[in-house]
Structure 1
Amino acid sequence: MSAALLAPEVFAALAEPNRLRIVELLRDGARPVGEIAERLSLLQPQTSRHLRILSEAGLVRADRQAQSRVYHLLPTPFRSLEAWLGTFAQVWETRTDRLDSYLSDLEAHERLDAPQGDRE
Structure 2
Amino acid sequence: MLRKIDCVMVHVDDLTAGIGFYTRTLGLREMWRDGTSAGLGMPETDAEIVLHTFPLPAGRGVGYLVDDVRAAVAGWGSEVLERPFEIAIGWCAVLGDPFGNPVCILDMTKGARG
TM over 0.5, shorter chain: no
TM-score between the two structures when normalised by the length of structure 1: 0.23
| TM-score (norm: length of structure 2) | 0.24
Structure with max Cα Rg: 1
Structure number with higher helix proportion? 1
Higher strand share: 2
